[in-house]
Amino acid sequence: MKFFLDTADVEEIRDLNDTGLVDGVTTNPSLIMKSGRDIIEVTREICSIVDGPVSAEVTATDYNGMIEEAAVLAKIADNICIKLPLTMEGLKACKTLSSRGQQTNVTLCFSANQALLAAKAGATYISPFIGRLDDLGLDGMEVIEEIRTIYDNYDFKTQILAASVRTVNHVKDAALIGADVATIPPSTMHKLVKHMLTDAGLSAFLADWEKTGQKIG
């Protein structure tokens, strides 16, 4: 499973990228707004930090506008992935951009049928929003499972990018189903490594080691 960071906070990205465990970044208009920075400037900085794909989202809602904005965003860096909303205009733009070899990420996906359309449009990634489905009492993980089954039935190459990830269980369950990517808020990424038995066990090891009076090296 690839781990993307779901943020436009460059300090968080720099810090976690140093672990060697970060495979890409996803942003969206809300995350750009939260960064308080110019989209081109902050996206360029993110692309300079992370080697993997960096999703930058168009804000136009019409095909021509999306293609124009995609051209601007694609110029930022070679690892730009163009994020497009799951609308008919977005799917049309995805088809065009994907046919030109541009990486695409179709976002705001909430159903398997939407994901089927995105795969037919040649999307590189599909972003089903788990958390927002759960917020409505629906089952976000069930949608991930349905998409996995459909994509495997037809050998679609579109990668399932589990998004709107809110908990460590979202990461685990998406991995159990076989999602290709999880895009994870930094706060959740930090929680993945934590276990109280690990902390307790390490403390016990170090306390016993102290008693030996030894040093390695």
Of the ranges 88-96, 148-156, 161-169, 199-207, which one interacts with ligand G3P (CB under 6 A)?
Answer: 161-169
Q: Which of 37, 5, 44, 45 is CA-nearest to residue 24?
A: 5
| Residue 189 beta carbon to ligand G3P: minimum distance, rounded to whole angstroms | 13
The conformation of residue 11, written as its DSSP 8-state character, comes to H
Q: What angle do CA 38, 41, 46 make, to 5 degrees?
A: 115
What is the rounded CA–CA span in Å between residue 117 and residue 106? 10
Of the ranges 61-69, 94-102, 114-122, 125-133, which one interacts with ligand G3P (CB under 6 A)?
Answer: 125-133
Q: Bridge-partner residues for 2, per DSSP? A: 181
Instruction: Select from 26, 103, 105, 114 the one that contacts ligand G3P (CB under 6 A).
Output: 26
Residues labelled as active-site residues:
83
The yes or no reply on residue 163 touching ligand G3P (CB under 6 A) is yes
Query: Which CB atom, from 1 or from 96, has the smaller least distance to ligand G3P?
Result: 1
| Residue 30 beta carbon to ligand G3P: minimum distance, rounded to whole angstroms | 7
Which token pair is 182? 């999880």
The yes or no reply on residue 65 touching ligand G3P (CB under 6 A) is no
Give the number of residues in contact with ligand G3P, rule: CB under 6 A. 12
CB 181 within 8 A of CB 2: yes
